[in-house]
A and B are shown apart, each in its own frame.
Chain A
Amino acid sequence: AQSVTQLGSHVSVSEGALVLLRCNYSSSVPPYLFWYVQYPNQGLQLLLKYTSAATLVKGINGFEAEFKKSETSFHLTKPSAHMSDAAEYFCAVNRGTGGFKTIFGAGTRLFVKA
């Protein structure tokens, strides 16, 4: 069975500071891992994905994530937060096949202070 745990339901950073959102996964098979962002009253937008190629994955809007198999982690980072980054972020895992039975974490709300 697969599962995802996002550490911290809320994270607050100052504008210009490092953003670090934590995600740990559990999977009995090589996983496909994703980060999505959700703005209020909108659907989910794909930020980046890991699909067994490079362990450091670069995504949109300056975000990146590193797959660490030994730690079963896939943390999301951005060197410098911008006010527009304030949103809900979801880590997700599946086995490919069009996203069949994708498991999402509970989400982390990112607040950015001026």
Chain B
Amino acid sequence: ETGVTQSPTHLIKTRGQQVTLRCSSQSGHNTVSWYQQALGQGPQFIFQYYREEENGRGNFPPRFSGLQFPNYSSELNVNALELDDSALYLCASSSYRQGGEQYFGPGTRLTVT
């Protein structure tokens, strides 16, 4: 069974640029959620994708957007990067109709300068 993978591992961008982060979900899972984890804090829910559609989002602006593909992999796009976007971005895969447990990837560390 293949676990959740994310790419790239690390990324450095300049304020105002755009970034795309990628996630491959665990085999058998149809749902992907994205989280932002700032240094020293717990993860914050960004949004969830189910059956290639956004299922709802947390308190993040529209410049955070995403996609889910037919193979259930997913992308997180962030436009007009701000310094406060510097964080660890975590992808979690799950099965929508099972009890809420999620399996996390290793994360992408984004630094905005």
Contact = CB atoms under 8 A, between A and B. Distances in A.
Given A97-B100, A102-B33, A42 B106 contact: yes
A11 to B, nearest CB: 16
Interface in A66-92: 90, 92
Interface residues of B, number: 34
Contact of A107 (B4, B41, B95, B96): B41
A92 B44 CA distance: 11
A94 B109 CA distance: 25
Looking at A32, A97, A103, which has the most chain B CB atoms within 10 Å of its CB?
A97
Contacts of A104: 35, 42-44
A43 B94 contact: no
Nearest to B30: A98
A41 B107 CA distance: 8
A98 B104 contact: no
A90 B100 contact: no
Nearest to A33: B100
Contact of B98 (A45, A98, A101): A98
B8 interface: no
Contacts of A106: 41-42
Given A43-B90, A43-B107, A44-B90, A99 B42 contact: no
Contacts of B92: 44, 99
Contact of B101 (A34, A41, A100, A103): A34
Contacts of A51: 99-101
Contacts of B98: 96, 98
Interface of A: 32, 34, 36, 41-46, 49, 51, 90, 92, 94-107
12 contacts: A41-B109, A43-B104, A46-B102, A49-B99, A96-B99, A98-B33, A98-B100, A99-B48, A100-B56, A102-B45, A102-B100, A107-B42
